Structure 1
Amino acid sequence: MMPGVSLALPPPPRLPLLRLLPSLPPTVRDAEVLPQLRRRHVLSGYRVVGQPWRRYVLGLLQLHNQSLSVWCLLLAAACAVARFLTFAFLQGGGLLLGFRWRGPEGWGLTLDAASLPLVLYTSSAVTHLSCSAAAILLRPHSWQMRCWLRPLSRAGAAAHLYGGALALHLYAANSAWAQSTLGQGFLPAAALLAWLCCAPCCPPRRTACRVLAVGMAKMLVWSPVAHRLAARRWSSDSVLQLHVLQVALSLLSAFFSCCPVPECFSPGTFDLAGHSRQLSGLLLAVATLAQQEALCLDFLRRRPTVVREFGEQRLLLASLSFFLCLPLASAVTALAARRERRRCGAEVEQRERH
């Protein structure tokens, strides 16, 4: 009898860099995490609570019930940056956004005022997507951390809301709408509603106030698109089609964010892929990219006339208002996070006593 020959291969050598990464604990079921960190009808795929910070950051490399949401948002942020850089430095055969070095007599960097709203919109979109991804990735650390991250995510959404309102007002609106009463008070109203979206409210009415503020803000921000849609056929304007697509995707994202569909029909089936939060994040990412593309095309169409129509000083003041809103939103976010942490601490202490 001939001796048996083993075909088993030796285990592959572990790379030295991988030895520095901590081993991630396996995901657990919903009964093993705090009730405040659970999702309705999502029964498994949760990460262990109370782990070191780096393990939650390395959650990017782990398959859990929020992996697809985080990756969709981060990839959308990277695509937004890549699209902006491509548009600014390659499309049209030059530096379209007006970043040009002066001659040797006076070196410096000049900036076209007409391009500032597009720069601010891209910055706000990337901030919103990144803050949302960070909030999802780090929220399982603890219930208190969830209370800190939720206002941060809302502040990013408020910045994106006002950045979109600024760009739509200057690039996408018709002249008739811009000169109307709604157009004259558009930016102050958008700033107020953006602030209300992340403002702290009384606990019993917090959700209702925020939903009302977000709904009113979205209706206001989409009003230039609605007026433009009423003035001409959307099928004859490819840029308007992108705006309509962005509105439709945003509405679908809001629907899946509020309604646990499809996991409510089959709990446990869509834990790792396909539940409502993942669908909402995917639709939000695609809607943001669609709006960015539409605004880039609107910018190319309106750039020769936007300075003449609004004036360079008004464009600079409108762009400056974005930076004035950011400290206010940050202060509101800090206040909201402080109140949330105090309330969370009181709830945890009361739960431990019982």
Structure 2
Amino acid sequence: MLSLIKLPPVLSIKDVPKVFQEDSIMSGYRPPRSSATDCVLSLFQMTNETLNIWTHFLPTWYFLWKLLSMVFMYSAWQDSYMWPLVVYLISICLYPLASSCAHTFSSMSARARHICFFWDYGGLSFYSLGSAITYSFYVFPDKWINSSFHQYFIPIAVCNSILCTSLACYSRYPHTQSSRLSKALRVVAFAYPYLFDNIPLFYRVFLCTGDGCTHNDTNLLHMYQIALAFLTGFLFATHLPERLAPGSFDYIGHSHQIFHVCAILGTHLQMQAVEQDMLVRRSWLLEHALPVSFGSSAGATILCLLSNVSIIFIFSLPLFLPAASKKKAAK
């Protein structure tokens, strides 16, 4: 069937505008004015984006299956203790889906590329909040439960999510488009929320001693997840291995593909660790911690979603103005 369909051509780096170019990726680019149909068809040919798309699209369905399984297995709508897990599972369905869609349709135009990745960044920042909510209710070490830091943890995480989306979207504007500055802004935008969310976990796993440290078998899963998260960040920041041999990893093996895989594996381990903490610590947490409320779970989630959608709309609006569109197209 596919042999009867004319697939979009594949171009070299010199044939596409700068906004479409990737560091040390020399070939495998899709035409910069592809139609939506061309973008979908490109999923079935080898380009430098093909594996970027599939490494996040396929896990989306696995995480969706986990979400539905959890909801029906534990009757989550009837048990408020389960609400943080549901929020988290929704976030890990949305962020790889947003990423795969962004990579799929980003070659339609320069404007479409920016907007696609605005949604990608919004998905990642929403995931950071989902992680923070589950950490607040299931992962915090015993001795930090109900502390001042614990009480303000979710409100700060909501602010971090909004900041992450704003800073990442801002990094795509023309005056930030030097590769180093743009990359630095995005690294900060995604590293800061992760580091904040994991403060209680870092303390629990690496620093805490004595009573109240929540030592259990889940800590090993958390450690594996942390290692994969730092490897993901390293690959995103360094563009290795393609930077060592430009053109050699254009289709298979470049850093974006590898960090997609590491991110999904890390998320899978995080999901297992959070679920295990939720089950093992349930009786103790229900007795000692504040109960899960609508505001601290679904309410924070809705606020984050509305804020991030508003931010994406604000950053997208100038791209539709005639002057802005002309300037973007020139690049």
Instruction: Sort the TM-score into its range (normalised by shorter chain).
Output: 0.7 to 0.9
Alignment check: 8 A CA contact 1:76 1:286 kept? no
Listed as ranges, the matches of 1:60-71 within 5 Å are 60-71=43-54
Give the corresponding residue for 2:75.
Answer: 98
Listed as ranges, the matches of 1:329-340 within 5 Å are 329-340=308-319
**Structure 1 position 26, deviation (Å):** 2.9
**Structure 1 position 310, deviation (Å):** 3.5
Q: Establish whether residue 231 from structure 1 lines up as the match of residue 212 from structure 2.
A: no
**Aligned partners of 2:285 and 2:296: how far apart in 1?**
13
Alignment check: 8 A CA contact 2:135 2:274 kept? yes
Alignment check: 8 A CA contact 1:143 1:344 kept? no
**Aligned partners of 2:63 and 2:296: how far apart in 1?**
23
Match of 2:132 among 165, 174, 199: 165
Structure showing greater Rg = 1
Listed as ranges, the matches of 1:155-304 within 5 Å are 155-199=122-166, 201=170, 203=173, 204=175, 207=182, 208-229=184-205, 230-231=207-208, 237-304=216-283
Alignment check: 8 A CA contact 1:198 1:210 kept? no
Q: Establish whether residue 35 from structure 1 lines up as the match of residue 18 from structure 2.
A: yes
**Structure 1 position 222, deviation (Å):** 0.5
For 1:166-216, what per-residue CA distance to the aligned partner results, in whole angstroms no more than 9, with x for missing partners?
A: 001100112322333322221111111110011154854684555434332
Listed as ranges, the matches of 1:320-335 within 5 Å are 320-335=299-314
Q: Which amino acid aligns with 2:249?
A: F
TM-score normalised according to structure 2 size: 0.87
Q: Percent identity?
A: 24
Q: Which moved more, 1:110-119 or 1:73-82?
A: 73-82
Q: Which moved more, 1:334-343 or 1:112-121?
A: 334-343
Q: Establish whether residue 83 from structure 1 lines up as the match of residue 66 from structure 2.
A: yes
**Aligned partners of 2:229 and 2:16: how far apart in 1?**
31
Match of 2:84 among 117, 121, 128: 117
Alignment check: 8 A CA contact 2:24 2:247 kept? yes
Give the corresponding residue for 1:347.
Answer: 327
Alignment check: 8 A CA contact 1:186 1:220 kept? no
Q: Which amino acid aligns with 2:17?
A: L
**Aligned partners of 1:73 and 1:117: how far apart in 2?**
23
**Structure 1 position 280, deviation (Å):** 1.4
**Aligned partners of 1:78 and 1:238: how far apart in 2?**
28
**Aligned partners of 1:55 and 1:166: how far apart in 2?**
39
Change (3 A) 1:226 1:327: same
**Structure 1 position 84, deviation (Å):** 3.6
**Structure 1 position 88, deviation (Å):** 5.2
Give the corresponding residue for 2:6.
Answer: 23
Change (3 A) 1:309 1:22: farther
Give the corresponding residue for 2:41.
Answer: 58
CA RMSD of aligned residues (A): 2.5
**Structure 1 position 273, deviation (Å):** 0.3
**Structure 1 position 58, deviation (Å):** 2.4
Kindly tell me the number of residue pairs found equivalent between the two proteins.
Answer: 316
**Structure 1 position 49, deviation (Å):** 2.3
For 1:42-85, what per-residue CA distance to the aligned partner results, in whole angstroms no more than 9, with x for missing partners?
A: 11111122222122122221211121121111122222223344
Alignment check: 8 A CA contact 1:73 1:281 kept? yes
Alignment check: 8 A CA contact 1:24 1:55 kept? yes
The SS at the match of 1:140 is coil
Q: Which moved more, 1:119-128 or 1:180-189?
A: 180-189
**Aligned partners of 1:344 and 1:241: how far apart in 2?**
50
**Structure 1 position 25, deviation (Å):** 2.1
**Aligned partners of 2:304 and 2:22: how far apart in 1?**
33
Alignment check: 8 A CA contact 2:146 2:289 kept? no
Change (3 A) 1:221 1:340: farther
Give the corresponding residue for 1:143.
Answer: 110
Q: Which amino acid aligns with 2:165?
A: C
Give the corresponding residue for 1:3.
Answer: none
Give the corresponding residue for 1:7.
Answer: none
Q: Which moved more, 1:334-343 or 1:150-159?
A: 334-343
The SS at the match of 1:45 is strand
Alignment check: 8 A CA contact 2:141 2:204 kept? yes
Alignment check: 8 A CA contact 1:56 1:138 kept? yes
Change (3 A) 1:349 1:209: closer
**Structure 1 position 338, deviation (Å):** 1.9
